[in-house]
Amino acid sequence: MRAEDGQAILTLNAGSSSLKIGLFSAALGVMATGLVDRIGGEGSLVLRADDGTALTLPEGMRTDFADHDGALATVLRALEALFPGLGIAAVGHRVVHGGPDHHGPIVIEGDALARLAALEPFAPLHQPHNLAGIRAAISAFPAAVQVACFDTAFHRSHPFVNDTFALPRAFYEKGVRRYGFHGLSYEFISGALARDWPALAQGRVIVAHLGNGASMCALRDGRSVASTMGFSALDGLPMGTRCGQLDPGVVLYLMAQEGMDAAAIEDLLYRRSGLLGMSGLSNDMRTLEASDTEAAREAIDYFVFRIQRELGGLAAALRGLDGVVFCGGIGENSRTIRARVAEGMGWLGVHVDPARNAANGPVISPEGAPVTVLAIPTDEEIVIARATAALAAHRERLEA
C-alpha cells in the first residue's frame, strides 16, 4: 500500500472509552475527522468533513461499540461508504508512554508492541487502550505500516534536574522519573512558532495546554526543558477530574487512615478530583464559568492560581520569559481564564489586551509588550499524520 498511489493515512487516538480519528490524503490534506464516544456502552460515531460539517453515515449501517475492535470496524465501514475505494497506506497511533528510550515515533514491528505493553504499569489508565487501538488496527489493516507516536518523546531533552526525583538512584534507573506528557501538542506548537514567529521560537516560551487534561511546558529554542507533569499524568495543574500536584503524604494518609487500597486511590485521584471534585458540579470549564455557586468559583480560582504558580516556576527554569502560548480546549476558547491568568503576572511581563483576547488572537498581548502572549489551536492529529507519512515513506524506500 503506497501513499503516493493515492491511499490515505489514518490516525487513531484511543482513550479508555473513546477513539479519535483523523483521515488524511497522501499529501496530508484533511479528508475527515471523527470521534467514537462511550465505547463499551451506548456508543456513538460522529464524522466531519475537512470544513467541519457533519458527514451523514449510511442509513442502516451496522455499528458495534462494545470494544475498540468493534469501534474501529464501525469507523472503517463508515469511511469505506463515504470514500469509495479508500485504501489505508499507514496508520498512526497516539501512545501516551514511550518510556525513557523513545525520543521519536517508531514503526510497530518485531517485539515493539510487547515492549510498549511492558510500560503499562507507568500509565495504567492510558497505555492499555492505546495498545488496544494498535492491535485493532493491525487486524483491520494487516498490510499497512503501523506507527506509534509518543506523548513522552518530546520531553526526553529534559536536563537531569528536571528529569529526576530525590529518591534513591536505583528507582531512576528503573524508570521512576519525570516523563512529561502532551508532547504531541507541544511539538505542534513548537512547529507553529518556528513557522510563524521564528524569532520567538528561538527564545524562552511557556506553553499552557489547558483542557480536561492540563499541563504546561517550558521551551527553549523549541525544545522542552521542563514540564508540570511528571511520572504520571496526575502531576502539576488541577484538571477536569485529576488532582494535579499532591503531597505524597496524602496518599499515605488515605491508605493508613481511610483504609483505601490502590484501586480506590486511583479512582479518587484520576476520576473524582480536579475541577469536578472541587466544584461538586462538573469537570467542564464552560459549566463552571456559567455557574454562580461558590464551589465553582473556588475551583476556577484554584485552577488559575496553579497556572500562575507554574508560570513563575517555569520562567525560573528558563531564566526569563519571551512568550506564553495558550492552547487546548480551555486555553484556545476561554477568554476569561486567559485574562485571569495574566492578572497579577505583570511583574513577569505577561499582559493581555482585552480586545485581542476577545478576538481569540492569535496575538493577545498588547503591542510592544515585553512578553508575547498567543492563543493557538493545537493539532495532535497532524503531528501524528506527518510522522506516520515520513516513516511509511522511509519504509518504502528501504523496501524498494
Residue 379 DSSP code: -
CATH at 326: 3.30.420.40
Instruction: Name the strand (E) or helix (H) holding 138.
Output: helix 127-140
Examine residue 248 and say whether the peptide bond preceding it is cis (omega within 30 degrees of 0): no
Place of cell 516513516: 391
Distance (Å) of CA 168 to CA 101, 110, 165, 173, 175 = 20, 34, 9, 9, 12
Which pLDDT value is given to residue 344? 87
**What pLDDT does 7 receive?**
85
CA pair distance 395, 1, nearest whole angstrom: 11
Give the per-residue pLDDT at 124: 86
Considering the domain architecture, whether residues 145 and 232 belong to the same structural domain is answered as no
Residue 352, in any domain of the structure: yes
Residue 337 lies in a domain: yes
Whole-number pLDDT of residue 14: 85
Please indicate, yes or no, if residue 275 is contained in any of the structural domains. Answer: yes
**One of 67, 101, 151, 284 is an active-site residue; which one?**
151
Instruction: Quote the domain boundaries for residue 264.
Output: 183-380
Asked which of 130, 150, 170 is the last residue of a domain, the reply is 150
Q: Supply the pLDDT for residue 1.
A: 34
List the grid coordinates of 279: 466544584
Which of 105, 129, 150 terminates a domain? The answer is 150
Together in a domain, 7 and 82: yes
Other Cβ atoms closer than 10 A to 181 = 28
Query: Is 151 a catalytic site residue?
Result: yes
Same domain? For 195 and 135 the reply is no
User: Rounded to the nearest 5°, which phi and psi values hold at 351?
Assistant: -135, 150
Q: How many domains does the chain divide into?
A: 2
Within this chain, do residues 120 and 201 fall inside the same structural domain, yes or no? no
The answer to pTM > 0.85 is: yes
| Alpha-carbon span 140 to 37, nearest angstrom | 20
221 and 291 housed in the same domain: yes
* Residues 144 and 187 occupy one common structural domain: no
Do 121 and 194 fall into the same domain?
no
Q: What is the pLDDT of residue 400?
A: 63
Average pLDDT of adjacent 10-residue blocks, the chain of 400 residues: 62 86 95 91 92 92 90 90 92 96 95 95 87 90 95 96 97 96 97 98 98 96 97 95 97 98 96 97 96 98 98 98 97 97 96 98 96 96 96 81
Judgement on whether residues 36 and 106 belong to the same structural domain of the protein: yes
pLDDT value for 34: 94
Report if residue 117 sits inside a domain.
yes
Same structural domain, 221 and 277: yes
